[in-house]
Amino acid sequence: MSVPVRLVVWSDFLCPWCWVAATRLWRVVDAQEGRIELVWKSFLLRPQPDPSRTLEKFRAYTQTWARPAAEPDAPPFRVWEGDAGPPSHSVPPHLVAKAAALLGPAVERAVRARLFEAYFAQNHDVTHAETLVGIWDGLDLPRAAFARAGDEAILEAVVAEHNEAVALGLSGVPAVMLEGGDTAVPGALPYETYAAWVRRLLAA
């Protein structure tokens, strides 16, 4: 069966509102039973490591997660309590998500969900190699496929997607666009807004 609607989603694994948007968009996908598809693209809120970012500063920053956590349909969040982190930069989890996508959309979704959950709900540093391997192994995925995260082509794809978003005028995420369109809608919109948009697209 062909997929009549494909939505391009720019997202970053270090963005709390992207976690909220992902859970809402997956609900829309499930409700439509295969009539829509999400095309995930990388946006790098932290393109490079910042050696000046201390664990103390990072813990203070995670207090701001209380706002997305207060959404009535928010996924789980937990202010940072452990000694892991702070996350180095945005690139590592994106590379792993791209490697997962090579195994199919179901695997990509599972890995994306676990990356978000591990970071925002469990206080695991998803830029740390050991954490990323643990997520991969926890889903019982072939270790050989994990090695693809180190491919130069995957890194180039991540950077190209980020640059595409910047060229479209995006300065933050999440942002969603109908595939083939030229305007992305920014922000974590309410579930019903996403659902109504999709219903209109399907009706058209």
Are residues 38 and 9 in contact, defined by beta-carbon separation less than 8 angstroms? Answer: yes
**Residue 201 binned pLDDT confidence (cut-offs 50, 70, 90):** very high
Q: Which helix (H) or strand (E) holds 146?
A: helix 143-146
109-140 pLDDT tens trace: 999 999 999 999 999 999 999 999 999 999 99
Q: Report the Cα 201 to chain-centroid distance in Å.
A: 23
pLDDT of residue 2: 60
Does residue 116 contact residue 19 with C-beta atoms inside 8 Å? yes
- How confident is the model over 53-78, as a mean pLDDT? 97
What is the C-alpha to C-alpha distance for residues 16 and 105, in angstroms, rounded to an integer? 22
What's the pLDDT at 3? 66
Q: How far apart are CA 195 and CA 73, in angstroms?
A: 14
pTM over 0.75, yes/no: yes
First to last CA, the chain: 18
